[in-house]
Amino acid sequence: MVFVIVISKDGSFKSVNQTDELYKCCKYKSNKDFVKLHEWNEYELWGKKKGKAGSENKCEFPSPIENLLYFGTLCVCKKENDLAMEEWTTWYTKKMGNNISIEDSEEQSVDSEDYSDSELTKEGYLKDSFIEELTEELYD
């Protein structure tokens, strides 16, 4: 058995047994437009460069292909043998700079900072050169 990693359109990974050609692992009916998209030292990325608007694959890839657009389901295989999910996710995380996903990170906002009442307008906005407090004389 040879295992490959299938990258769903939403960007999630799944390990599948490659029983046939790679395009069939991605659930394509034919190999039309199914090509090798990129090659890293021991891994190959397969999929489609062409597709309908809205069918873009959401997975982010490491340099040098981080800005390229791919469509539908993609497939990653190892040149010599099986590609285990743990091996792929370890490699992928390292190549992506060990970044924590957006869902796991805490968002910081201006609201979390402490400001004194004199620094805020009566509406709660931070006073700066952009927002000025309205005075009664403007309404006269």
Q: Classify strands 13-17 and 43-48 as parallel, antiparallel or unpaired.
A: unpaired
How many angstroms separate the CA atoms of 76 and 17, rounded? 12
Question: How many Cβ atoms from other residues are within 10 Å of residue 49's Cβ?
Answer: 12
SS3 20: coil
Residue 27 confidence (pLDDT): 93
pLDDT in tens, the chain (140 residues): 689 999 999 999 999 998 889 999 999 999 999 999 999 989 999 999 999 999 999 999 998 999 999 999 999 999 888 899 999 999 999 999 875 443 433 333 344 356 677 777 766 666 665 545 555 555 55
Number of H helices, E strands in the chain: 2, 5
Report residue 66 as tokens.
């981080």
Residue 128 confidence (pLDDT): 64
Total residues belonging to the chain: 140
Residue type, 4: V
How many angstroms separate the CA atoms of 135 and 140, rounded? 10
First vs last C-alpha separation in the chain: 83
SS3 129: coil
Under a CB-based contact definition with an 8 Å cutoff, are residues 101 and 89 in contact?
no
Residue 40 confidence (pLDDT): 92
Residue 112 confidence (pLDDT): 36
